Amino acid sequence: MFYDAANFEFATRLEASWQVIREELNGLRDKDFIPWPEKYLYGKGWDTFGFYAFGLKVTGNCKLCPQTTRLLAEVPDLVSAGFSSLASGTHIAPHTGYPDGVLRCHLGLIVPEDCAIRVGTETRSWTEGQCLVFDDTMEHEAWNRSDRTRVVLLIDFKAPAGLLPVPEAEPNPEQKTTSFLNFFKNLVRKS
């Protein structure tokens, strides 16, 4: 399920500053990015540059992008944030995210044609300088069928009270989170 980004004040501020964020992104090197840990979802071609992981600041990365870090500090109830890079030809298989109670925002920074995300039954394309907000716990997938890399600023934040439906069953936390949490522990140690 997608939500109207205009209902989240921080999204409006990010959209107003998207070119500043993209300028800092363009100052990074390929080696600054690391593969997303759940390779079974994509094989290769999904890399990230983390700023915050489950509320913990990745200090070294934040120093490389001070304006982006300043803008992220204004996101209420920020959980995680980073640049998400999807190489040409990459497809992230259908999956559900975690944890419940968190929404995901993507700010389009480098968006070639033929890139899209499906959440539930709805498919949307990113637009440079615009945010998409969605419920990551719904089945979703993403793809880049272009000949260029797609990059968004990915932000997880706690949903305002009463916005999300109550989950029907408790997820099995061991099933998905072990490798994901280890990934972020290593990321924080790196900085």
Helix 9-16 crosses helix 18-26 at what angle (to 10 degrees)? 60
Distance CA 49, CA 52 (A): 10
- pLDDT tens by residue, 125-152: 999 999 999 998 899 999 999 999 999 9
Q: Where are the alpha helices (DSSP H) in the chain?
A: 9-16, 18-26, 59-64, 66-72, 173-190
Counted domains in the chain: 1
Query: 39-48, 130-139, 145-154, 168-177: lowest mean pLDDT where?
Result: 168-177
Distance CA 103, CA 97 (A): 10
Residue 140: C-alpha distances to residues 2, 24, 174 (Å): 11, 28, 21
- pLDDT tens by residue, 50-104: 999 988 999 999 999 999 999 999 999 999 999 999 999 999 999 988 777 899 9
pLDDT of residue 54: 84
Range of the domain at 37: 2-190
pLDDT of residue 177: 47
pLDDT of residue 161: 83
Read off the CATH number of the domain in which 157 is found. Answer: 2.60.120.330
